[in-house]
Structure 1
Amino acid sequence: MEPDARDRLLAVIADISPRVIACSGGIDSMLLATLASRQNAAATTVAHAISPAVPVDATLRLRDWAAREGWRLEIVVSGEFDSEDYLSNPVNRCYYCKSKLYDSLSRIGNTVGEGATVMSGANTDDLGEYRPGLHAAKEFSVRHPYIEAGVDKSTIRKIARELSLPFAEIPASPCLASRLYTGTRVTVQRLRAVEESEEMIRRLAGIEVVRCRIREDAMFIEVSAADRFRITQSLLHKVERAATRDGLSLRAVHLDAQPYRPGRAFVGAP
């Protein structure tokens, strides 16, 4: 990491005041909120959206850390499930979700101080990918301190380690809707099945990074090549029972023929 990476980041954050930070409970936004609040708590509001697409453990982790750090925390329901554009799960689904989120956070900004700016945890690695959520951010004048300071994901982890933050090593875990193949409708049942299945595999097989992706009426489990042997037939049966407990109809639960790859369910990006 460049010696002045953290200083550059803190300078960008200091330039944004007052600020509302969109915090998902992942390492990127958690570190950003921690730095901003420690720098100037009075100017910082942390906002977290609860939704069937947000993993429960992310919300619990954020609430616990917010209490320890004394954050001014606002919990919002961003309302993406009210949008048919979102539920139909097009390739730009994230645009509709982020539009709802940033609209809610902008309203919070109007209550915490004149000129309050919404901040996100997007980093420079995101610029090399198709990220429709960044288009929504632009429409709401959201600022991205990591991008402005030239900070990537590996640097975020290094800063978190230097500060001995307890979430420095948590694996990436995008929203649960990212587990549904493009065109597969977003439903609460499907998201709950994904969350429960992944939690079961982590607990019973000891696999840290796992994705349970749904394509129409089948679930495909993705793990690394090194972890494939841990997915036994017995475990597949247990996952299927857990995934269908709430009435979700699944034709089958498979161990994917290919090892885990980020973004595999994201089909048709330009």
Structure 2
Amino acid sequence: MPALSTELAYKLEQLLDLLRNYGRVAVAFSAGVDSTVVAKAAQLACGDQAVGVTSSSLSLASGELEEAKRLAELIGIRHQVITTDEFENPDYLKNQSNRCYFCKTELYTQLVGRQQELKVDVIVNGANLDDQGDHRPGMQAAKEHEIRSPLLEIGINKQEVRELAHYWELPVWDKPATPCLSSRIAYGVSVTPERVQRVDAAEQFLKTELNLRELRVRHEANQLARIEVPLEAMTRLLEPTTREQISRKFHELGFEYITIDLEGFRSGSMNAIVPLEQLQIAAGNAN
């Protein structure tokens, strides 16, 4: 087990104390590294009075629900799966730059409505200190539903989250970010079950065939796929046999055009087109 720095060990004690003070806790548990660390901390702090709740919906990538179940069992936290219906909301389907707000509103509304059933006093998420510097409309939804963000409250950043996961020997300590499938759809292009399923199938194909851990298939307008992979992996996609294999598969899935982004893989690249004013508003709402 790797050792923690004195500063992070102190933050960990603060985190556990904070969670104990919350009382009975439900963690919005997606199986990403942030919420997994919060779930582990909640289990240590609250024991049987902690529960991880995973949302199952069309926007969840293949394998993520199964991973959430495995992680909950590994951590030893009580676990419950709910179904969210964000695809029933026209504002979500419009896929404007605040799409995430409507998704999180659906999730948090359901969680708040189930507090008595879950037997919890407080609902928490995995937002960390670094999330304040990104376009995160979902944080406004959390604020409106009085969702607590213990990592953020203690001042724990993403790197420290990964260090805690490594310290606890959680297998997701180096897991790449895994945002919902709808985040791959270009703003202004409607989110539909068909499009998210197409993206999911395309990404699973690239992961399986090329053994890549980090990648995105961005669904642009006019059925265009924009593939993002780390720069060092780009030449593999351009090998004649591989290129033909990808083109054939993507056309089968319904993409008309297939491109490779020369800037490579980068999380949140869709936010590059969000006006600065909206980013500033979002940051102000999150504070």
In the other structure, the counterpart of 1:93 is 99
In the other structure, the counterpart of 2:256 is 251
Q: Is the 8 A contact 2:17 2:45 kept in 1?
A: no
Which letter maps to 1:58?
E
Residue deviations 1:19-55 (CA, integer Å, cap 9, x gap):
1110111111011111211322222121100011111
- Which secondary structure state, in structure 2, belongs to the residue aligned with residue 183 of structure 1? coil
Partner residue of 2:191 out of 183, 186, 195: 186
In the other structure, the counterpart of 1:165 is 170
In the other structure, the counterpart of 2:211 is 206
- Which secondary structure state, in structure 1, belongs to the residue aligned with residue 51 of structure 2? strand
In the other structure, the counterpart of 1:121 is 126
Which letter maps to 1:239?
I
Q: Is the 8 A contact 1:194 1:213 kept in 2?
A: yes
Which letter maps to 1:127?
Q
How far 1:239 moved relative to its partner?
3.4
Which letter maps to 1:190?
R
User: In the aligned structure 1, how far is the partner of 2:91 from the partner of 2:140?
Assistant: 16
In the other structure, the counterpart of 1:145 is 150
In the other structure, the counterpart of 1:29 is 35
Q: Is the 8 A contact 2:250 2:258 kept in 1?
A: no
- Which secondary structure state, in structure 2, belongs to the residue aligned with residue 55 of structure 1? coil
Which letter maps to 1:178?
S
Partner residue of 2:47 out of 17, 21, 41: 41
For normalisation by structure 1, the TM-score amounts to 0.93
Partner residue of 1:83 out of 77, 86, 89: 89
How far 1:236 moved relative to its partner?
4.0
For 1:209-228, what aligned pairs fall within 5 Å after superposition? Answer: 209-216=214-221, 217-228=223-234
1:238 is aligned to 2:245: yes
In the other structure, the counterpart of 1:7 is 13
Which letter maps to 2:268?
G
Residue deviations 1:177-235 (CA, integer Å, cap 9, x gap):
11111111111121112122112212222322111001111000011221111113443
Which letter maps to 1:17?
G
Q: CA RMSD in A?
A: 1.7
In the other structure, the counterpart of 1:197 is 202
Q: Is the 8 A contact 2:15 2:41 kept in 1?
A: no
- Which secondary structure state, in structure 2, belongs to the residue aligned with residue 228 of structure 1? helix
Which letter maps to 1:106?
V
User: In the aligned structure 2, how far is the partner of 1:212 from the partner of 1:93?
Assistant: 18
Q: 1:113 to 1:12 in 2, by over 3 A?
A: same
Q: Which runs of 5+ in 1 are unaligned?
A: none
- Which secondary structure state, in structure 1, belongs to the residue aligned with residue 263 of structure 2? coil
How far 1:162 moved relative to its partner?
1.0
Q: Is the 8 A contact 1:236 1:253 kept in 2?
A: no
User: In the aligned structure 1, how far is the partner of 2:243 from the partner of 2:103?
Assistant: 32
- Which secondary structure state, in structure 2, belongs to the residue aligned with residue 154 of structure 1? helix
In the other structure, the counterpart of 2:77 is 71
User: In the aligned structure 1, how far is the partner of 2:39 from the partner of 2:52?
Assistant: 7
How far 1:244 moved relative to its partner?
5.0
How far 1:147 moved relative to its partner?
0.4
Q: 1:34 to 1:244 in 2, by over 3 A?
A: farther
User: In the aligned structure 2, how far is the partner of 1:65 from the partner of 1:158?
Assistant: 17
Residue deviations 1:128-152 (CA, integer Å, cap 9, x gap):
1121100000110000000001000
- Return the structure number with greater helix share: 2
In the other structure, the counterpart of 2:22 is 16
* Count of residues in correspondence between the two structures: 267
1:175 is aligned to 2:180: yes
For normalisation by structure 2, the TM-score amounts to 0.88
